[in-house]
């Protein structure tokens, strides 16, 4: 017998030896067949004969009804099967979910009680299958009448040959004393919400395009996320699954070059009557447990959980519910506190917070954390496992054999779920009467699907239809539960702190958080910081994704690349060395050359800090350095003494954070040299002026110069050819 859920142990201790009423007896036909087969000598069939449930009609029976059970017998042995199929049922109601689970998972060949019907199976060839229908009269065979209690009963179908029982199917039937199907009168109604994660592949910072390709593959027809969306948007408007969406997946699909990914995104973000019920998770499905155990601040937790989304320009549709976190496994209190720090209003607890008596009476609970009370959405572990396991494999026909990975047929799982929810309804009613003395309202439970869920929408639809047809289960949106008040139910506490070995180690988480903070400060130099830091911010969050838990080597490489990328971004601005300038005046400008290799203009403030009071800085200029350019930034200074001064250069972002490691240069300060030089030059010029005047005066008193009194008049009758005439008169150049 394939177990429906791997939860159980033998059921004998809980159910006791008697599972049939004293008045019930085996039918004469069954007794005769049993006697005949007891002495038959047929070949023993080895392991391989199986029996699977095809259908149970009606799903809920009342007084006077006949239960018709159709099973499929498959001969996986090597010889023909000659044997019989027996139907047995119990009359006592199952009132404990633990007992119900143990019966469903009992791998022994125990039957439910006295045999109520039997059919022969002759010459079933190896590899062949055959459907067999058995009937059981509720009144005559089980004596269940109007005074019998409401609820599920045990039922078994066994296959035997001459050597004994070869396989047993453990299942259930539901009894309603009011009248069966269509007139069910359960003690309480059960509201069931099914939430499925929509998360993507790991984001490799070294290959960001690979993430987009992975999302396109998952959202293509037949992909896991395409099938998940189909369960949230059933074609005929039937029961629907709610979605917990990673915004990075939605944003990537919406901006994809792949037409099928865009079409998937349009269905996901539809509004109106065609809109799915959606809540959002932290970006990249951040591993909140790793953040919680790293000892970083709440602001750093919040930054990691929302990293990089602003750079995409994508925003969740108005109808989506934001602020939901979903840690893996059983979270501790520290993880819930981190979820609150990340802005989550509700935290899905997939495992944990069970009631002290083992039953999950409600899907809500309040948990006290160091960050304040947290609203926990408590998933029902049994319902979650049954639905996920029954629907995660390849499609199976309505009368499938139950082979493959799925434990049992769709019909068997449906009966298991009906029985489980019936016990939930009875338990909720009993709690209400015991606590308030009044009838109970609907009880709301949640089934949380695993992150690697790849559902078969048709199988899931069949299961949900059968649940709703039972009469006490309504499949409702997950968001209907949020915002309600959690009832006062005693639960087992979550551990205070309990790290998982698969989490990213705290030291590395802190390195990523510090790098993110530095990048955020650095990015404020741009008019729109998200355009500069968005990609790096996302890369720093990528190694924190839950999906990386299963691949630590790839995660280590992602960490190294993300940190290297952050370091390279912070190297986009630099101060260019200008040698050793000399300041010879009392006041002046010291030029600082800033280089911008970023793809955007950068607004920075240049601050000089001299190590000597002989130089005073009088300005802190703020400038815009164009992308890909260098700019000389003049800083006004005043000298009050001479000497060599070391100056530290700081370049600050608009928010005051340093965007560069401080650098330094030396300045030769020669205070007053400009004044002295001017005086010297002026004095030199004055001396030259005085010297010129003196020379002029002295030339005017030379002995070679005479006055008119000492010069004889020139004779006018001297011939022109005499030497004296040639000396005193110039020659006519024109002659």
Q: What is the pLDDT of residues 297-339, one digit of tens each?
A: 999 999 888 876 665 667 889 889 988 999 998 999 999 999 9
* CATH architecture under which domain 573-673 falls: Sandwich (2.60)
Residue 171: pLDDT above 90?
yes
pLDDT at 497: 92
Query: CA geometry: angle at 179 spanning 177 and 180, to 5°?
Result: 95
Q: What is the pLDDT of residues 435-473, one digit of tens each?
A: 544 455 678 899 999 999 999 999 999 899 988 888 889
Q: In CATH terms, are 12-184 and 191-480 the same topology? A: no
Which candidate, 157, 158, 94, places its Cα nearest to that of 418?
A: 94
Confidence of residue 264 (pLDDT cuts 50, 70, 90): very high
| CA-closest candidate to residue 121, choices 73, 51, 79, 168 | 73
Measured CA distances, 385 to 75, 351, 475, 481, 492 (Å): 29, 11, 17, 20, 20
Strand ordering across the sheet containing 81-89:
60-61, 164-175, 151-161, 81-89, 115-124
List, for residues 615-672, the tens digit of each pLDDT value. Answer: 888 899 999 999 999 999 999 988 887 888 888 999 999 988 888 888 888 888 776 5
| pLDDT tens, position by position, 405-415 | 334 678 889 99
Share of the chain above pLDDT 90, in %: 46
Rounded CA gap, 385 and 135, in Å?
Answer: 31
Q: Distance between alpha carbon 99 and the CA centroid of its chain, in Å?
A: 36
pLDDT above 80: residue 134: yes
CA dist., res. 425 & res. 448, Å (int): 19
pLDDT confidence bin for 490, thresholds 50/70/90: confident
Instruction: Give the ranges where 327-480 is alpha helix by DSSP (H).
Output: 333-341, 381-391, 410-436, 457-469
Query: Global pTM?
Result: 0.78
Fold category of 191-480 in CATH: 7-stranded beta/alpha barrel (3.20.110)
Mean pLDDT on 12-23 = 31
Task: Assign 98 a pLDDT band (cuts: 50, 70, 90).
Answer: confident
Residue ranges of the domains in the chain?
12-184, 191-480, 506-569, 573-673
Q: What is the Cα–Cα distance from 698 to 692, expressed in whole angstroms?
A: 10
Q: What is the DSSP letter of 716?
A: T
| pLDDT confidence of residue 72 | 94
Average pLDDT in the chain: 81
Neighbours of 259 (CB within 10 A): 9
What is the predicted pLDDT for the residue at 694?
66
Q: Which fold has domain 12-184?
A: Immunoglobulin-like (2.60.40)
Q: Would the pLDDT of 11 be above 60?
A: no
| Per-residue pLDDT, 403 | 37
Q: Is the pLDDT of residue 554 over 80?
A: yes
Structure confidence at residue 541 (pLDDT): 92
Q: Taking residues 585-594, report their average pLDDT.
A: 86
Residue 316 backbone zone (phi > 0: left; psi -120 to 50: alpha; other: beta) = beta
Kindly state the DSSP code that residue 64 receives in the 8-state scheme: T
Q: Are 183 and 62 in contact (CB under 8 A)?
A: yes
């Amino acid at each position: 017998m394939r177990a429906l859920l791997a939860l159980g142990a033998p059921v004998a201790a809980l159910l006791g030896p008697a599972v049939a009423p004293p008045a019930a007896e085996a039918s004469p036909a069954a007794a005769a067949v049993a006697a005949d087969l007891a002495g038959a000598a047929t070949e023993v069939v080895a392991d391989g004969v199986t029996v699977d449930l095809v259908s149970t009609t009606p799903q809920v029976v009342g007084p006077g009804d006949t239960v018709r059970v159709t099973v499929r017998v498959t001969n996986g042995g090597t010889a023909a099967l000659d044997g019989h199929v027996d139907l047995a049922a119990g009359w006592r109601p199952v009132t404990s979910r633990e007992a119900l689970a143990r019966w469903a998972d009992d791998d022994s060949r125990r039957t439910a009680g006295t045999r109520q019907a039997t059919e022969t199976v002759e010459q079933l060839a190896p590899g062949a299958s055959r459907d067999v229908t058995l009937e059981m009269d509720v009144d005559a065979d089980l004596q269940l009448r109007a005074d019998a209690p409401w609820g599920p009963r045990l039922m078994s179908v066994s296959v035997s040959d001459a050597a004994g029982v070869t396989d047993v199917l453990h299942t259930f039937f539901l009894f309603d004393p009011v009248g069966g199907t269509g007139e069910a009168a359960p003690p309480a109604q059960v509201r069931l919400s099914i939430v499925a994660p929509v998360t993507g592949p790991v984001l490799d910072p070294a290959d960001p395009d690979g993430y987009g390709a992975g999302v396109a593959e998952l959202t293509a027809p037949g992909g896991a996320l395409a099938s998940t969306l189909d369960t949230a948007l059933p074609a005929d408007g039937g029961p629907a699954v709610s979605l917990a969406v990673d915004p990075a997946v939605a944003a990537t699909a919406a901006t994809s070059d792949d037409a099928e990914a865009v079409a998937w995104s349009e269905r996901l973000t539809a509004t109106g009557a065609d809109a799915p019920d959606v809540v959002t998770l932290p970006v990249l499905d951040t591993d909140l447990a790793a953040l919680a155990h790293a000892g970083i601040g709440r602001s750093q937790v919040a930054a990691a959980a929302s990293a990089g989304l602003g750079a995409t320009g994508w925003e969740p549709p108005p109808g989506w519910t934001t602020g939901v976190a979903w840690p893996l496994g059983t979270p501790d209190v520290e993880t819930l506190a981190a979820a609150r720090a990340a802005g989550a209003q509700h935290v899905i607890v997939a495992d944990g917070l069970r009631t002290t008596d083992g039953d999950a009476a409600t899907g809500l609970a309040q948990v006290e954390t160091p960050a304040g009370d947290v609203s926990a959405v408590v998933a029902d572990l049994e319902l979650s496992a049954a639905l996920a396991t029954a629907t995660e494999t390849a499609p199976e026909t309505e009368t499938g054999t139950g082979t493959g990975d799925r434990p049992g047929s769709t019909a068997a799982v449906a009966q298991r779920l009906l029985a489980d929810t019936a016990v939930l309804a009875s338990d909720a009613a009993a709690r209400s009467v015991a606590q308030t003395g009044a009838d109970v309202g609907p009880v709301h439970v949640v089934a949380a699907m695993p992150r690697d869920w790849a559902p078969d929408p048709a199988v899931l639809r069949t299961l949900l239809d059968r649940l709703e047809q039972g009469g006490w289960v309504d499949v409702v949106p997950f968001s209907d539960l949020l915002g309600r008040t959690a009832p006062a139910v005693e639960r087992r506490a979550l551990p205070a702190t309990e790290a998982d070995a698969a989490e990213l180690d705290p030291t590395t988480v802190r390195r990523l958080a510090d790098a993110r903070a530095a990048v955020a400060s650095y990015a404020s130099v741009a008019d729109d910081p998200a355009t500069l830091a968005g990609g790096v911010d996302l890369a720093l969050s990528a190694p924190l994704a839950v999906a990386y838990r299963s691949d630590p080597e790839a995660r280590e490489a992602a960490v190294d690349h993300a940190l290297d990328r952050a370091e390279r971004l912070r190297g986009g601005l630099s101060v260019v060395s200008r040698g050793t300038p000399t300041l010879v005046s009392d006041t002046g400008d010291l030029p600082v050359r800033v280089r911008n290799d970023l793809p955007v203009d950068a607004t920075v403030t240049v601050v000089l800090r001299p190590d000597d009071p002989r130089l005073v800085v009088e300005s802190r200029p703020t400038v815009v350095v164009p992308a890909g350019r260098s700019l000389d930034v003049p800083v006004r200074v005043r000298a009050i003494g001479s000497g060599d001064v070391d100056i530290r250069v700081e370049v600050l972002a608009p928010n005051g954070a340093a965007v560069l490691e401080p650098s330094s240069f030396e300045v030769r300060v020669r205070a007053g040299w400009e004044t002295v030089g001017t005086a010297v030059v002026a004095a030199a010029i004055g001396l030259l002026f005085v010297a010129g005047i003196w020379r002029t005066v002295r030339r005017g008193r030379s002995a070679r110069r005479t006055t008119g009194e000492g010069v004889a008049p020139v004779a006018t009758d001297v011939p022109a050819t005499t030497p004296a005439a040639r000396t005193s008169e110039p020659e006519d150049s024109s002659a």
